[in-house]
């Protein structure tokens, strides 16, 4: 799927990664590797890099320059895995998220639910210098999408109380005239708590395991219409 739009970037990346001793493995994940909800014309490219010194890539803005004409680059936290990624926008509109993990984290892919959730949706191996990724496909293929578990009573109550507390908090901000802060509370924090409840409700009521995406992605597909 990625070959038509991102082929030249991938080939340049592969040549660079092959010559960069710190890069031990690399994968394409996300929409460019999925068959369900595959990439469309707006999709970016998600590349996972396993490096012996991740900070070297996170802190540098030089290594990805040869892949294309760079407009800007930012560093963010990865959606899963607790690491960081360097997001790069190129002048032709193509954008690539380079998620950078330590090479010692490769077992995370097959042992942790977050890693399996990503792999089960599709992936493509670009580089495997130490031959550690060979078992990924059978492991990912044998696992259904990993779903969030149901909360404990303590966690459930904390979420409900947090939700109602911040309703009052947002109302006070509104009455005080702090419109921006109130709006951020309603459209940001309260909705994060709400989508967590929707996830739990969906999991609890589904007859089989349901693929609940992170941060409410594709909620119109996995959550009940109500």
Looking at the predicted structure, is the pLDDT value of residue 178 above 70?
A: yes
Q: Structure tokens of 86?
A: 């360097």
Looking at the predicted structure, is the pLDDT value of residue 25 above 60?
A: yes
Looking at the predicted structure, is the pLDDT value of residue 147 above 80?
A: no
Find where tokens 């991102």 sit.
6
Measured distance CA(112)–CA(185) in Å, rounded: 32
| Domain 3-141 CATH (choose: 3.40.109.10, 3.30.460.10, 3.40.50.720, 3.40.1160.10) | 3.30.460.10
Domain ranges of the chain: 3-141, 153-222
Give pLDDT, residue 117: 74
Kindly report each contact of residues 140-145 with a partner whose C-beta sits within 8 Å and lies 24 or more positions away, as own/partner: 140/110, 140/116, 143/116, 144/120, 144/209, 144/211, 145/117, 145/120, 145/121, 145/209, 145/211
Model confidence pLDDT, tens digit, residues 87-105? 999 999 999 999 999 999 8
Measured distance CA(149)–CA(154) in Å, rounded: 14
Residue 41: CB atoms within 10 A of its CB come to 6
As a whole-number percent, the residues of the chain with pLDDT over 70 amount to 92
Model confidence pLDDT, tens digit, residues 192-204? 999 999 999 999 9
**How far is C-alpha 149 from the chain's CA centre?**
18
Average pLDDT of the chain?
90
Give pLDDT, residue 180: 97
Confidence of residue 146 (pLDDT cuts 50, 70, 90): very low
Model confidence pLDDT, tens digit, residues 2-11? 778 899 999 9
Give pLDDT, residue 162: 97
Measured distance CA(175)–CA(169) in Å, rounded: 10
């Amino acid at each position: 799927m990625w070959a038509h739009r991102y082929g030249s970037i991938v080939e340049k990346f592969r040549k660079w990664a092959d010559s960069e001793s710190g890069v031990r493995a690399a994968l394409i994940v996300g929409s460019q590797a999925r068959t369900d909800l595959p990439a469309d014309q707006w999709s970016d490219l998600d590349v996972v890099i396993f490096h012996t010194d991740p900070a070297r890539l996170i802190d540098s803005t030089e290594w990805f320059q040869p892949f294309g004409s760079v407009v800007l680059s930012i560093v963010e936290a990865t959606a899963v895995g607790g690491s960081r990624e360097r997001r790069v926008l190129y002048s032709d509109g193509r954008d690539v998220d380079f998620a950078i993990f330590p090479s010692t984290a490769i077992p995370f892919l097959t042992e942790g639910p977050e890693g399996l959730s990503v792999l089960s949706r599709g992936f493509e191996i670009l580089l495997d210098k130490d031959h550690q990724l060979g078992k990924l496909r059978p492991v990912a293929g044998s696992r259904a999408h990993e779903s969030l578990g149901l909360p404990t009573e303590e966690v459930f109550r904390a979420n409900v109380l947090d939700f109602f507390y911040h309703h009052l908090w947002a109302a006070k901000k509104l009455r005080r005239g702090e419109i921006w802060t109130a709006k951020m509370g309603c459209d940001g924090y309260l909705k994060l708590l709400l989508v967590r409840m929707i996830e739990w409700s969906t999991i609890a009521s589904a007859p089989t395991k349901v693929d609940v995406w992170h941060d409410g992605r594709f909620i119109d597909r996995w959550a009940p219409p109500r």
